[in-house]
Every structure is written in C-alpha cells, then in structure tokens.
Amino acid sequence: MPDPILDNLNPEQLEAVTAPDGPLLIVAGAGSGKTRVITRRIAYLLRDRHYQPWQIFAATFTNKAAEEMKNRVVQLVGGRQLAHELPIATFHSLCARILRREAPALGLPNNFIICDERDQLSAVKHVMRELGIKDTEVKPSYAQEIINRCKLNMLEPEEVGQVIESRHEQTLAAIYEAYQKYIRASHALDFEDLIWMTVRLFQEHPEILERYQQRYRQVLVDEYQDINATQFLLVRLLAAGHHNIAVVGDEDQTIYSWRGADIAHLLEFEKYFPERRIIHLEQNYRSKANILRAASTLIANNRLRFNKTLRTEAPPGPPVVVLSAETEYGEAEAVAHLVAALHRHASFQYKDIAIFYRIAALSRVYEEKLRELNIPHRVVGGVRFYDRAEIKDMLAYLQVVQNPANTIALLRIINCPKRGIGDKSLERLLDEARRRGVPLYEVLREVATSGQLVSGTAATGIQRFVQSIETWREFAHNHSILELYEKIRRESEYDASLGDPAQLEVRSRLEHLDELANAITQFELSQPKATLADYLENVSLVNPTDDLRDTQNAVAMMTLHMAKGLEFRVVFIVGCSEGLLPYRRSQEEGRTEEERRLMYVGMTRARDFLVLCHCDSRAVYGERQFSPASLFLSELPTSGVLHVRAEQASFRELALLANSDGSSGEIATQGELEEAPTSSPRSQGLLGRRVRHALLGEGEIIGIEGSGRQTTYLLRLDDGQLVRLLARHAQLEVCG
DNA sequence: TGTTCGTCGATTTTT
DNA sequence: TCGACGAACA
Ligand SMILES: Nc1ncnc2c1ncn2[C@@H]1O[C@H](COP(=O)(O)OP(=O)(O)OP(=O)(O)O)[C@@H](O)[C@H]1O
C-alpha cells in the first residue's frame, strides 16, 4: 500500500524522516530534498509517533516558507483543523504568539503592537529630534541600521561599540537608548524585540520556559543556515530538556547574513549537541545536469563552505543560456519574447516560469514588456500592500483604538486628516507628556477638556479627535473589526482628505482602502474568534502577497531572496551585471561570497531551463551607465553554457532548445561540441578554424550542428558574440 | 497652519 | 527617476 509519508524517499532521506528522538543535523545541497524531509518528518511525528500538532515547534524565516511547509504537512496528514493548530510559522510570529500571552511577566502589556521598519524609522527620527541630534550628523537610517544590528545580537546601548567603531559611538548609544525608552512607552515592540524579549522571558522566568519546554516536544528549523545568534539561543533554550531538535540547512544558501545569519551556527550545532546524528543528502532531484553543473562551478569559487557532494541522474538538458542585450529594455524585451515563445512553441505554462532579480526596483521594465505582450504575470511581494501610506494611516487608527498609549501610531494620525494641530502645538503637547512621564494621549485627553496649552483651532481639533477615538473605543467592544474600520473611515473623513476622486492617484488610493476592507473581511472569516489585536499582529507579520496562492497561471516575478526554497521549470535571472549582482554595496562591505550564494540560490531553483540575462548599459538615476557583465557570468563553465545576443536570437529556436533533453544532440552546446564534435565529414574540417564573414567580421567556428542542408555553424566572433549560421547561406572565408 | 515648489540626495535583500 | 525635506508664501 502506498504511503504518502514514507514512500519516494532515498535511504538517507528515510533515515532523516524516521530518526529517533535526539538532535538531528541534516546538511545537504540544493534540491536534495531537505524541505521534503522536514515536512515528511513532521507528518511522521504526527501520524506514527502520535504527537499532537501543538507539540511541534517548527520555525522558518519567511512567511512563504512557513505557508509552503504547512500546506505540505496538511496534505500529507490531512485534517482541516490541522492548519490552524500546527505551530509552523516564522520565528517572529511564533515569538509574538508567546509574548502575547506572557508579556506581563516582562512588564509589557499584552496588547503591545509591533512596529515595522517605517514606524521604527519615524521613532528614530523622533528621538533624534528630542535629543537635538541633526540628521546631517547621523543619518536616521544609519542609526536605525546600527540599532537593529545591536538588537540582533542582544547588545544593549552601552555595547554599541561591538558592532561599530566610529566617532559616533556615543551618539548612537544615546539614540538607541532613547529609542528603546520611546517604543516601550509606546507599548511597541520591533521585529528584533520579538525574538530577544522571548529569549529574555525564558532566561528570567525558568518556570515559564519549563512550561514551553513541556509543550513543545519537538523543535524543527528549516533553512537552518539562516539562523542568527538570538534565534539559535531561543531554540537551544526550548530544546534544552529533551534535545529533540532537527535542523536542515545548506551553507551555500546563506543569504541573510545582514540579518545576523552566520554559517558558524552550523558548526556550533555540533558543539551544543555533540551527540547529534548527522545526515548528508547528496542527490539533487530538481535540476537538469547542465544547470546543476553551472551552479556548482559557480559556487566552487566561494571559500567559506564545506565541500558537499551533489550529484544528479538527470540528463544534461538544454544548455544554460546567457542572454545579452544592449539596454535593459532590450533585455526585458528579449525575456518577454522568450517567455512567449516558451509558452507557444514549447511545453511550458506561464506558471512554470519565473523571473528573479537582485533588487525589487528592477521589476518594472520586465513587467512593462510582459504587459506589452499580454503575458500574465504576478509580482510576488513587490511594493508591500501594508506599506502604502493610506493603508498605514487607517491601520494606525485601528492601532490607536486598540491601544491609545501607542504614541508612534498616534503621531501618524493626529493631524491626518488635517485638524489644525500643527508642529508648534504638537511640540508643546509632547513636552508636557515627557515632563510628566505620561503617554501623549493622556495629555490630549486633558487638553480636550481644559483647552489649555494650545491655540483655539488646535484645541478644537484635539477635542474632536479625542471624542472620536473614545467613541470608537467604545464601539470596538461589541462590533466586528470590519464594522469598526468602516465607521472610522466614514467618521474620520479620511477619504475626502485624499483629494479629488477624479484624479487617478486618488482613486487608486481609495481602491486600496476598499481592498483593506476586503482583507479584513477575509481575516475575520478565516479566524472568527480573532480580536483586533490579533488582526493587527497578523498585519505586521504577514504580507498579504505572501499567501496569495499560486493558483493563477502567470509568470512569477520576485527577488532572489523570495525565491529561496521554491522551484520552477524555467528560471530567468535578470540584471546579471557588476554592481547589481553582485550588488555594489554588498561587495564593498566584503560580502561578495554572499552575493554569489544569492546567484547560486537563483540558479538552483530551475528544473529544466535556466537563462541568465545581462545588458551592456542601464539607466541609473535617469542616467545611462555602462554595465559590465557580472563577475559571476565569467565564473560559469564553458561547457553546457550557450551565449546568445538578444538582437540575433531566434526565440522560437531557443524555446525549442529549452524543450530538448540535451541527450540526442539535436542542438549541441558550445562545450559539447568542443568536446565531441559530430557532423558531416565535409564540414568537420572547419571546426576550430578561423573564418571571415562578410558582414560580421572574423571569428572562430566552435560548433557544427545538423547535417546536409540543415548544417549550421556556431561561430564565435572576435568580440565574443555567438552566432548561428545556416551553412548553405553562410558565406564564410577561411582565414590563414 | 497649510500648501507648493525647488533642491538635494539616495537607492538591497525580510521579519 | 522618485521621494523626502526645507524654505517661502497663502
Ligand atoms: N526521493 C525523491 N524522489 C523524487 N523526487 C524527490 C525526492 N526528494 C526530493 N525530490 C524532489 O526534488 C525537489 C527538491 O526537493 P526539496 O525542495 O525538498 O529540496 P531542498 O533540499 O529543500 O531544496 P533547496 O534547498 O534547493 O530549496 C522537489 O521537486 C522534490 O519533490
């Protein structure tokens, strides 16, 4: 009888899935079935070892990964309820759940709110103003970055020196300290706090830790190479009693070092759990051999890695194509045409195809060209829905209603729409609040009755504002989130403040606000018992595009980071230029190897066909700049890689090539031809000869394909271009 | 207090 | 090219 959980596993995979209790370390390369193993193991624990869903703590680093894992487990084990009961989620979300219950033990309120990057930046700016630090002296975004880097490593303000050495050390420490005070007073936690405070909770309250150790009998971490020091400490605390901790990782796929990820933790696992069982998976089940070889050759240039074996039994498949164009428009156009051809002439559906890029800003051109050709596509996690100003404003209203002490949100909406409460008044109110050590809202409430401290217009504005908030708070007690939202939207007259609905810009904002209503409805339907606090937490931690199901038949577009863990039959990596991939700033900060890993991750997502794109010049800040090909392109093997100029490319031919399995030699690749030339005797002699073409100039014949009338030459011109010419038309002159 | 216009400056990746 | 911020005006 077929067993969905234990069938279709190789012996090593099976060993990993069914390993007995105790620490388990699985180190394995791309496409070797790591995710398959960890999901099957969870299913196995549930079905055959009779664990309850809530006893399993499975952490991931992205919402997408969590969603994917949960879906797979539910598919294996079944049960509608299961999806809600299984604690498979990101570290941040698992921690938020714990803190929501236990916050009081740390002196924090249960209804804390989670502030995102933007809130964080505005908080930093706020405290810098209060401290009288000019943003020319220290850039707020820099201060933010340093604060986060400290918090990732559980460093207090006085320890700032450990992450930077600069004359600003004192200043940054002061900002950090003030920032902490400010967000605490606002009843807010930032992303880093979620992890760190959970660790602190466990360290300071052994009895609470013990409860969670009792509860979570199995700890699992996917993509373990991405773990940072705080997260590692967290899982060590949880597993301290039973040591039932299983992790899977691949050091070649560490792409989050800027979030504190460190390969060292892979080694340290063995230090903390010396009795660990270690399993290597060495067979790649995903990619055609040419793709795997190209990726392996590339990553071999990294020094910071173990030497893993990764083999495949797959046929060579089509060559990896390096597609070059003159400009980014040419590049995008070529991509779009090739996508169309793959759809039309080959067996690929749109949803089999993905386009990856280093930075999200790059997606635009490619989107445009796809749209021009009417190719359905979806951008995964581009401009984040909840990042839009109008959405953030409305959510800030909900946050203030939920917890008026949240000064961060309060400041966002106090004069939006305009209520005549200007900078001057606000400053006075904030001073008063600071002097007395009470939340800003407290002061507002008093001013609303006393009318003191501010001018007439401001006082009226405050009065009406406080009045509204109080009404909404009352209303929130016995109404749904949606009802509350609609009421706020109506009574705040926010819509009108956006301007004339005849304007396109305004209309799209209004549409976003309608979409928010839809999102709230969806949420309330899926979680009927959820509170406003639950909703706001969900909003902060889960991007709605994350759970946009991949149901549409559309080309997927995303950053290389988002691509991790996924697979597609066809992958395009666009913008393979120096400065972009590897990204200049990363390179300057000494993280070239991480950029190479990023490229490696992208390449290994492909099953059948991989296209790496590049262009000679690109507009940067509106200015056209020379854009040399990526270092990584030069690190690819010569064999199994085909270089094509977009201007000369026949997309139909490329599409047919993509469909070939590379074994019959219908269209051989450059490398194969060099190694094993097969062609008619007459042409044979030309292979490797220098020739001159009337129009194209001189070059070398590096390949001969087909025979008879179909014979074609593959010619490498002296400028590096590759062209394919039908032999009977090619008027070539042999040189020398 | 609110609006508009010009200048300047800056760009990663995710929770 | 876009957006954030400051100065000058309504
Ligand atoms: N034993 C197997 N037999 C057949 N196919 C397998 C087997 N193991 C894994 N696969 C397939 O190989 C592909 C890669 O598996 P999976 O995503 O689990 O790998 P991974 O190691 O997590 O990859 P990566 O680290 O690159 O994200 C999937 O399509 C999976 O279905």
CATH assignment of the domain containing A422: 1.10.486.10
Q: Are residues A373 and A411 in the same domain?
A: no
Q: Say if residue A94 is in the same domain as residue A242.
A: yes
Residues A57 and A204 in one domain: yes
Q: At what angle do helices A34-47 and A63-77 cross, to 10 degrees?
A: 50
Please report the pLDDT score of residue A674 as a whole number: 33
Residues A536 and A440 in one domain: yes
Same domain membership, residue A129 and residue A83: no
Instruction: List beta partners, residue A626.
Output: A617
Asked whether residue A522 carries a pLDDT value surpassing 90, the answer given is no
The pLDDT of residue A621 is above 70: yes
Q: Which residues of A640-659 are buried (b: 16+ CB within 10 A; e: fewer)?
A: bbbbbbbeebebbebbbbbb
Please check whether residue A602 is in contact with residue A573, taking contact to mean a CB–CB distance below 8 angstroms. Answer: yes
Q: For residue A665, what pLDDT band results from cuts at 50, 70 and 90?
A: very low
Residue A286 tokens read as 């995903």
Does A681 score more than 50 pLDDT?
no
> Could you say which DSSP state residue A257 is in?
G
Torsion sign, CA atoms A145, A356, A29, A95: positive
For the cut 50, the answer to whether the pLDDT of residue A316 exceeds it is: yes
Whether the pLDDT of residue A95 is over 90: the answer is: yes
Predicted pLDDT of residue A193: 95
Task: Please enumerate in sequence order all residues whose Cβ is within 8 A of that of A709, keeping only pairs 6 or more positions apart, or say none.
Answer: A728
Interval A688-721: pLDDT, tens = 777 776 555 677 776 665 555 556 666 666 765 5
Per the domain annotation, does A679 fall within a domain?
no
Q: Is residue A668 in some structural domain?
A: no
Residue A680 structure tokens: 């008619």
Q: Which residue in A12, A190, A193, A222 is the catalytic one?
A: A222
Strand B close to A289 by CB, under 7 A: no
Q: Tell me the per-residue pLDDT of A357-368, one tens digit each, with 9 for 90 and over.
A: 999 889 989 999
Domain assignment of residue A664, yes or no = no
- Is there a single domain that holds both residue A721 and residue A637? no
- Of A334-348, A493-507, A597-611, A689-703, the poorest mean pLDDT is in A689-703
In a domain? residue A145: yes
Q: Which residues contact A5 (CB under 8 A, 6 or more apart)?
A: A17, A40, A43, A44, A47, A48, A76, A77
CATH number at residue A134: 1.10.10
**Whether A133 and A73 share a structural domain:** no
How many whole angstroms from A592 Cα to the centroid of ligand 1? Answer: 27
Protein residue whose Cα sits closest to atom 6 of ligand 1: A285
pLDDT in tens, A258-313: 999 988 898 899 899 999 999 999 899 999 999 999 999 999 999 888 878 788 99
Residue A584, CB, strand B, below 7 Å:
no
**Domain end marker among A526, A541, A556:** A541
Residue A149 a catalytic site member: no
Arithmetic mean of pLDDT, A492-505: 83
Does A474 reside within a domain?
yes
- Which of A81-90, A193-202, A412-421, A443-452 shows the highest mean pLDDT? A193-202
Instruction: Assess whether A420 and A531 both reside in one domain.
Output: yes
Strand spans (E) along A535-662: 555-559, 568-573, 606-620, 623-626, 641-645
Tell me what ipTM this predicted complex has.
0.92
Domain that holds residue A275: 11-102+195-283
Per-residue pLDDT band for A685 (boundaries 50, 70, 90) equals: low
pLDDT single digits (tens) A209-223: 999 999 999 999 999
Q: On chain C, which bases lie within 7 A of the protein's CB atoms?
A: 1, 5-6
Q: Between β-strands A555-559 and A377-379, what pairing exists: parallel, antiparallel or unpaired?
A: parallel
pLDDT of residue A678: 35
In this structure, are A569 and A611 located in the same domain? yes
Note whether residue A666 is domain-resident: no
Model confidence at A682: pLDDT above 50: no
CA→C1' distance for A448 and B14 (Å):
41
Domain boundary residue, one of A517, A541, A565: A541
In 10 A of CB A387, how many CB atoms?
A: 13
Of A164 and A398, which is predicted with more confidence?
A398
Within a domain: residue A522?
yes
Residues A400 and A378 in one domain: no
The whole-model pTM stands at 0.84
Nearest CA to ligand 1 atom 1: A9
Considering the domain architecture, whether residues A128 and A91 belong to the same structural domain is answered as: no
- A40 lies in the same domain as A170: no
Number of domains chain A contains: 5
